[in-house]
Amino acid sequence: MQSKFGTKIRELRETQKLYLRQVAPLLEMDTAQLSKIEKDTRQLKQEQLEPLAKILQTEFAELHTLWLADQVLDLVKDQPNANEALKSVSKTIKKK
């Protein structure tokens, strides 16, 4: 399954006509690493989210939400009780 985060950053980058080779050094990574993040075979470090949002001129909150959702999905995707666990977590979060 394609990462929503990876898809979004690729769309933003391409919309702005930026190449991987332009964006990757700004995040202190090589082009291959950024390509893997866009293809969901590697994860971006959380501390790189804010600089990426600035580079892509987009809202940090949107990228953070997609990044976090992908982190959760990666953790629970193969678990048999994933839906029940997520519902329980959602209820807990809503109470706070």
Q: What is the pLDDT of residues 18-63, one digit of tens each?
A: 999 999 999 999 999 999 999 999 999 999 999 999 999 999 999 9
Count of Cβ atoms closer than 10 Å to residue 75 Cβ:
11
- Where do the H-state alpha helices sit in the chain? 4-15, 20-23, 31-38, 49-55, 60-76, 82-95
Model's pTM, two decimal places?
Answer: 0.85
Place of tokens 């940090």: 60
Give the count of domains, the chain.
Answer: 1
Tokens at 11, concatenated? 């769309």
**pLDDT reading at 95 higher than 90:** no
State the residue range of the domain holding 80: 4-95
Instruction: List the CATH number of the domain containing 34.
Output: 1.10.260.40
**pLDDT reading at 1 higher than 60:** no
**pLDDT reading at 2 higher than 80:** no
